[in-house]
Structure 1
Amino acid sequence: MQRLIHPTLLFTLLSLSLTGCARFEDRPLNPVDSAARIEARALSSVGLRDYIDSVLANKTGQPPKAWDIDRLTLAAIYYHPDLALARAQAETMDAAITTAGQRPNPNITLSPTWVTNIAMVAAPWIIGSSISIPIETAGKRGFRLDKTQHLTDAARLRITDAAWLVRGRLRLAMLEVYAAQEAERLLQQQLVIQQAMTERLEQQLSIGEITRLEVMRSHLALNQMQLNVSAARKRNAESRVLLATAVGVPVDALAGIEFDFSKFVQPTDLRFIPVTKLRETALQKRPDVLAALADYAAAQSALQLEIANQYPNIQANPGYTFDLGANYWTLGATALQLPILHQNQGPIAEAEAKRRELAVRFEALQMRILGDIDRTHAGLGAVLAKWADAEKQMRLQQENLQSAQALFQAGETDPLALLGAKLERAAAERARLDMLVEAQQALNALEDTLRYPIASTLTATLISDSAIRKTPQ
């Protein structure tokens, strides 16, 4: 009976260890199915609507009549692959915490020997067995956990940073759609005016009031205007593709969608943006700054781990031997690694160098942020001054048009002069649009560097929380 105890115990231990094993689940990646899921994305989906309503605390449950930059930002956070990738990378680091916290498994060694040339022995077996129990020393497991936790924190912070980058590209894409639509509208107005002027000149040519050269010049201007309108239509179509890509949906998902461009029609006044305070906040609390700090903290823990690795782990090896009917127990066998040839100096030096590198990287990041904020702030001030000049020029052209209309109604000028005043006003409006786009681009650059939403109902905290939240796909 005694000979059956130890094999039974061994079988029981092996059975218990195997019951907790994970099993492989095959999940093939099918490009056809993946493409179909992407093409099925729509701004009208129920999942997206529920997500946006939960973020904005919308209780009506009704889809918006028009999509503004804030709702499109949440749609991009929901759909864009950059956010999905950042979340997946954070989940990978989160799973690494389990690996870092694992304690080493013990090992069992068996060496059964059958003795054939011994007489008068009931059990001609010598069965040696031992259990090797590794014991980590010097707090290595704690340092390993700290390092992985800091890297996980950095990965989560980079989700928020990815959301800001996605919002910046989205804002530029939406601005391009607005600019393309307005440019096409204004060019169409100019085309109509130029056509009327050409027709008037042809009438004057027919009665001999002007030469053909003046009519030819008008035709050349008309042809150029038609080319400009065609180019504007192409730009309008391409801008919608750019916007769809920035959201993370196919361009067909924008069909029939009405956009709210109210936040683009007038640049935000710099007096309402506390740039000095926001610059200090950005240098300390931007998501990429906090992620760099987490990387540095991970390097600190990695250095502590390598220093702890100077001290050898303990290997306890209790054993049992069944020798021809006799039982032998080994209680105190212990294995120690002797730090004679080296004391882990190489990995320690590498960890110290990595810590210095990350410190330099952090200071370089802060310097780049500081330079970007100062540059965009200064550039924005100059652009807004040019915008004020464009507004002034637009008012002057409007006054000139009103004067021309009054003179025409009084019979003191001809229709051609009135059409020329209208054409000059449309050209001034085009110049005003160009300056508006430039000002909005500068504001977008400032928002990017500050990581602060300008002219937005979304707060920085709301963008961060909605980005980190796992969205169902």
Structure 2
Amino acid sequence: MAALAGIFASSCVRDQPVPLSPVATAAALESRSLEDPRLRQFVLAATRPDAPPDAPIRWDLASLTAAALYYHPDIALAEAKLAGAKAAVITANERPNPVLNFTNIVGQGLVPGAIPIGAAPLTIGPAIDFLIDAFGKREARTAEALRLEQAARWDLAAAGWQVRGRVRAALLALWAAERRLALTKQRLALQDQLVELLEHRQAAGEASALDVSRERVSRAEVTLALHDLDLAASEARVDLATAIGVPDHALDGVALATEAFDHPHLLDGRAESGLWRREALTRRADIQASLAVYSASEADLKLAVAGQYPDITLSPGYSYQYGINQYQLNVLATLPIFNQNQGALAEAVAKRQEAAARFVALQAQIIGEIDRASVAYRKSTQVLASAAAMQADEARRARQIEKSFAAGQADRPTLVSTQVEAAITALSNFDAVLQQRQALGSLEDALERPLYGPDVLLALPQAQLPPPPRSSS
């Protein structure tokens, strides 16, 4: 017994405490930077695997997405859940340990002379209980754990898509704020010129105070709009840093490339024909995760069915009783008299029905997301075409006024007023552009297909499930 205790003690894994310090974790989060050497290696491997290790990184949508996959805590959380699912597979596939029963009674016999001469006045009875995991129970447990591990893998892929979507949305908001800021500054410069010209005319008695006051009010409105747009740009940078998983100051001095939103690729016939729609309804990461959860519920039902059959325990043993050696083999089995595992069966059937209902609900949700994003993209594209036509008409009118001004047929206030109108039209046209870009981003999320650039996601091995363990019966 002492030897067995020593063997067991030497084979046990000892827990190593890992303290969690809020101060240390906060300091680590605050020190994150896009210049981290390991991050640069990860980004280059994900976006440009053929580039040399010291190649410069262009911080566009793809590179920022890779940085978010490296830093964002949602990815770490999904990886931790996957590690737990892998450990659950080990637990499910383990064979039950035997149980040692040891009886030791020291005393005299109740009947005088019952103990043989020379025999020790004690009873020793060691026995070992072996649980026979029969009727496919271990196989069903392992199959359920394997499918839950597969679901955790797909959850990790889904987390990657969600991280990409947040990075894209924040970068798009920053691009929109910067473009609006530039267009508004152009309008403000023209508005200053117009106010100055009208003030000179008013001084000469050629313009009314009402005209000057109206343009001054417009200039004040544009000035306030600039402050709002500057705040929106700052907030968009903070949102982008949060989406990546770094503090705001990590983006200081970083040149962000936003050309992906200037001229995105137009959708081809596959999107309109329904091919991408069918792929999204069958191959999205959350669809695959839901299917894996349903398969796990079926394995759980098989386990509940196997639970109707009794567990068998073999207990070989030896006893020494007052000089008599006894050998025994006990067979223990549960008797399904009061219940036949009907409660567990009913719960397993209900869980499978719930998993099926969740899958159908998820598909219905995806259909709604795709329809909503598709309609928004088509309508915003139509609005953008109309806005572009209006801007083209305004540009032609501006050119005509410029020719008239050059020929002396129009004065400068008329020319500047026309340029102000063109600047206002440009801002309205950009609103239509932004709506289309946002709709394209929503469609990217619904289809889980990179419409704004290359697919930069975690490489998840999707190998076939290993065969279940052989039955021990």
Q: TM-score, normalised by structure 2?
A: 0.92
How is 1:367-406 mapped onto 2 (pairs within 5 angstroms)? 367-406=364-403
Q: d(CA) in 2 for partners of 1:410 and 1:58?
A: 59
Q: 1:273 to 1:74 in 2, by over 3 A?
A: farther
* Partner secondary structure for residue 465 of structure 1: coil
Within the candidate set 88, 92, 102, 2:84 is matched to 92
1:35 counterpart letter in structure 2? A
Residue 237 (structure 1) shift: 0.7
For 2:459, the aligned partner's letter is D
Counterpart residue number, 1:313: 311
Query: For residues 291-310 of structure 1, what are the structure 2 equivalents within 5 Å?
Result: 291-310=289-308
1:13 pairs with 4, 7, 15, which one? 4
Report the alpha carbon displacement of residue 467 of structure 1 after superposing the two structures with TM: 10
Does the CA contact (< 8 Å) of 2:44 and 2:57 recur in 1? Answer: no
- Name the SS of the counterpart of 1:256 in structure 2: coil
Shift, 1:59, TM fit = 1.9
Query: 1:72 corresponds to which residue?
Result: 64
Q: Is 2:145 the partner of 1:148?
A: yes
- Kept in 2, the 8 Å contact 1:66–1:257? The answer is no
Determine the C-alpha separation between the residues in 1 that align with 2:355 and 2:22: 39
Contact 1:77 1:466 in 2 (8 A): no
How many matched pairs?
Answer: 455
**Residues 246-261 of structure 1: pairs in structure 2 closer than 5 A:** 246-261=243-258
Q: Distance in 2 between matches of 1:456 and 1:272?
A: 18
Residue 36 of structure 2 is aligned to residue 38 of structure 1: no
Q: Which residue of 1 aligns with 2:466?
A: none
Distance 1:372 1:223 in 2: 41
Counterpart Cα distance in 2 of 1:140 and 1:325: 43
Q: Which amino acid aligns with 2:436?
A: A
300-309 vs 278-287, which deviates more? Answer: 278-287
Amino acid at match of 1:465: A
1:324 to 314, 322, 329: 322
Corresponding letter in the other structure for 1:212? A
Shift of 1:116: 4.8
CA distance in 2, matches of 1:272, 1:175: 25
Instruction: Identify the match of residue 465 of structure 1 among 445, 452, 459.
Output: 459
**Offset at 1:362?**
1.1
Q: Over residues 279-311 of structure 1, what are the superposed CA-to-partner deviations in whole Å (9 max), with x where a residue is unaligned?
A: 111111111111111000000000000100111
Amino acid at match of 1:277: L
Distance 1:467 1:87 in 2: 13
> Residues of 1 paired with 2:44 and 2:226: CA distance?
39
Corresponding position of 2:133: 136
Measure the CA separation in 1 of the matches of 2:408 and 2:264: 41
User: What displacement does 1:65 show?
Assistant: 5.6
Q: CA deviation at 1:273?
A: 5.2
User: Matched residues, percent identical?
Assistant: 35
Q: Which runs of 4+ in 1 moved over 6 A?
A: none
- Listed as ranges, the gaps of 5+ residues in structure 2 are 463-473
2:74 and 2:175 mapped to 1: Cα distance?
A: 24
Name 1:363's counterpart in structure 2: 360
8 Å Cα contact 1:307-1:348 kept in structure 2: yes
Larger mean Cα displacement after TM superposition, 425-434 or 268-277? 268-277
Q: Deviation at 1:394?
A: 1.8
Residue in 1 that maps onto 2:219: 222
Q: Using the alignment, how far apart are the partners of 2:230 and 2:460 within structure 1?
A: 36
Q: 2:240 aligns with which of 243, 246, 251?
A: 243
Question: CA, structure 1 residues 467+113, in 2 after alignment: closer, same or farther (shift >3 Å)?
Answer: closer
CA contact (8 A) 2:376 2:436 kept: no
CA deviation after TM superposition for structure 1 residue 13, in Å? 2.5
Whole-angstrom distance in 2 between the partners of 1:438 and 1:466:
33
SS in 2 for 1:388: helix
Structure 1 gaps, min length 5: 1-9, 469-473
Q: Deviations over 1:114-156 (max 9, x none)?
A: 2257785453222122111111110100000000000010011
Which one-letter code corresponds to 1:408 in the other structure? F
Q: What is the one-letter code of the residue matched to 1:50?
A: Q
Preserved contact between residue 75 and residue 247 of structure 1 (Cα < 8 Å):
yes
State whether structure 2 residue 441 is matched by structure 1 residue 420: no
Distance, in Å, in 1 between the alignment partners of 2:205 and 2:141 is 94
Residue 464 of structure 1: how far off its partner (Å) = 4.5
The 1-side partners of 2:403 and 2:304 are apart by 86
Change (3 A) 1:402 1:63: farther
Contact 1:83–1:467 under 8 Å retained in 2: no
- 1:162 maps to 159
Instruction: State the AA in 1 paired with 2:430.
Output: L
Cα contact 1:146–1:301 (8 A) shared by 2: yes
Tell me the alpha carbon deviations over residues 345-385 of structure 1, each in whole angstroms, 9 at most, x when there is no partner.
01001101111111121112112212321232122111101
**2:101 corresponds to which residue?**
109
CA displacement 1:449-468 (0-9 Å, x = unmatched) = 1111013123xxx5241799
1:160–1:467 contact (8 Å) kept in structure 2 = no
Cα pair 1:55 1:466 within 8 Å, conserved:
no
- 2:323 and 2:4 map into 1 onto residues whose CA distance is 23
CA contact (8 A) 1:289 1:362 kept: yes
Aligned to 1:5: none
Q: What letter is aligned with 2:31? A: A
User: 1:24 corresponds to which residue?
Assistant: 15
Shift of 1:17: 2.2
Q: Tell me by how many angstroms 1:64 deviates.
A: 4.0
Query: What is aligned with 1:277?
Result: 275
Say which SS state the counterpart of residue 263 (structure 1) adopts: helix
Deviation at 1:415, TM superposition (A): 1.0
Deviates more, 1:258-267 or 1:279-288: 258-267
